[in-house]
Amino acid sequence: MSTAHPTPGQYWKIAAFLAFVTAVEVAMYYIDRELGLGVLNAAVLLSLSAVKFLVVIGWFMHVRFERPIISRFFAAGFILAGSLYLVVLSALGVVAIRGG
Amino acid sequence: MSDLAQGAAVTHHDEHESTGIESRKLGMWVFLSSEFLFFGALISNYLLYSHRGGFEGVYPAAIYDIPFTSVSSFVLLMSSLTMVLAHNALSRSDQNGARTWLFATAALGSVFLGGQVFEFTEFIVQHDMTLSTNPAASAFYLLTGFHGTHVAIGVIMLLSLWGISRRQGGLSDRQGLNLELVGLYWHFVDIIWIVIFTVVYLLSVAPA
């Protein structure tokens, strides 16, 4: 562990942030239903999801405070799987997402 | 030597590798990394069939209850908070706090599972969408069911740790590592749901 872990108070703040981002995601879903934002909606929702994903990994799973080998292992699995399935879905022409 | 002290002594002998990371912890990270391939395959399978028309029956995206699933997602997200608070409490040798947060995490996980059972029941009874209705329904049940199974396994592990802590009056250093490993698993289940909630629930559309 290279640096000190967050305090309980900081964990609560991180959780509040995650809850807020989730609320924004749900709001975006309904805004898109009314306004038909299309690709913009998909981009915003995927970005918000990525933020939540990284915050949980970084702070709750403590990757920010661990040795680099751990983040490398984890990132390798994610990038390998993500790349593989992105190529497969692209090859099959899947753009089933709202606005895609 | 007490059980707790003995556990601490054992920890120093068999938990460190040349990487400087406990071998079981490194193993858990590698396991979780490999899990991306499983969930990636199931999410891709869903994306492949969720919009493909020409099949009989209702499609999952046509009957999602977004407010209900949003609450379920919030519950699972908050269970990650209680999990990290359990780990934090144990690192401060607050055994009672760790036990309380462990139980809270298991309870929130159980609420999420209850929500999933309710959702599946609604889909089957109210909308007649079963596992064999069409490929999209099969892909949906396979993906969310596989995730739910992971949550159920996590709840069992959490309750096991909680029971051990109650019986022994606390967790030893070695059991503390177990709590950290279960925590990693639990957070992983949470990040997978973060992806499922966005890609499967918020972004997918049923064929016209």
Q: Cβ separation of B33 and A12 shorter than 8 Å?
A: no
Other beta carbons within 10 Å of B183: 26
Give mean pLDDT, residues A31-52.
93
- Partners of residue A97 on adjacent β-strands: B204
At B84 the pLDDT is 97
At B15 the pLDDT is 54
At B9 the pLDDT is 40
Give mean pLDDT, residues A56-64.
92
B71 is a domain residue: yes
Cα(B36)–Cα(B32) distance, rounded to whole angstroms? 7
Cα(B61)–Cα(B111) distance, rounded to whole angstroms? 23
Whole-model pTM: value is 0.90
Supply the CATH number for residue B148's domain: 1.20.120.80
B7 is a domain residue: no
- Rounded to 10 degrees, the C-alpha dihedral A59/A46/A80/B27 comes to 30
B17 is a domain residue: no
At A27 the pLDDT is 96
Contact in structure between A74 and A11 (CB atoms under 8 Å):
no
Q: Cβ separation of A82 and B40 shorter than 8 Å?
A: yes
**Where in the sequence is the domain holding B138, given as residue range(s)?**
22-202
At A88 the pLDDT is 87
Number of domains in chain B: 1
**What is the 8-class DSSP label of residue B198?**
I
B198 is a domain residue: yes
Contact in structure between B151 and B109 (CB atoms under 8 Å):
yes
Q: Cβ separation of B187 and A19 shorter than 8 Å?
A: no
Spatial CB neighbours of B22, under 8 Å, sequence gap ≥ 6: B15, B16, B177
Cα(B38)–Cα(B189) distance, rounded to whole angstroms? 12
Other beta carbons within 10 Å of A46: 16
At A72 the pLDDT is 87
Mutate which of B194, B196, B201 to disrupt the A interface (most A C-beta within 10 Å)?
Answer: B194
Residue B125 C-alpha, separation from nearest chain A C-alpha, in angstroms: 26
The beta-carbon neighbor of A42 closest among B41, B67, B203 is: B203
At A95 the pLDDT is 54
At B109 the pLDDT is 98
At A100 the pLDDT is 46
B2 is a domain residue: no
B5 is a domain residue: no
Residue B197 C-alpha, separation from nearest chain A C-alpha, in angstroms: 9
A79, closest residue in chain B (CA to CA): B36
Per-residue pLDDT of chain B (208 residues; tens, 9 = 90+): 344 444 444 444 455 557 778 889 989 999 999 999 999 999 999 999 988 888 889 999 999 999 999 999 999 999 999 999 999 999 999 999 999 999 999 999 999 999 999 999 999 999 999 999 999 999 999 999 999 999 999 999 999 999 999 999 999 888 889 999 999 999 999 999 999 999 999 998 877 7
Spatial CB neighbours of A7, under 8 Å, sequence gap ≥ 6: B88
A38, closest residue in chain B (CA to CA): B203
ipTM: 0.89
Cα(A23)–Cα(A20) distance, rounded to whole angstroms? 5
User: How many percent of chain A have pLDDT more than 70?
Assistant: 91
- CB < 8 Å to B187, chain A: 56-57, 60-61
By residue count, chain A amounts to 100
At B2 the pLDDT is 43
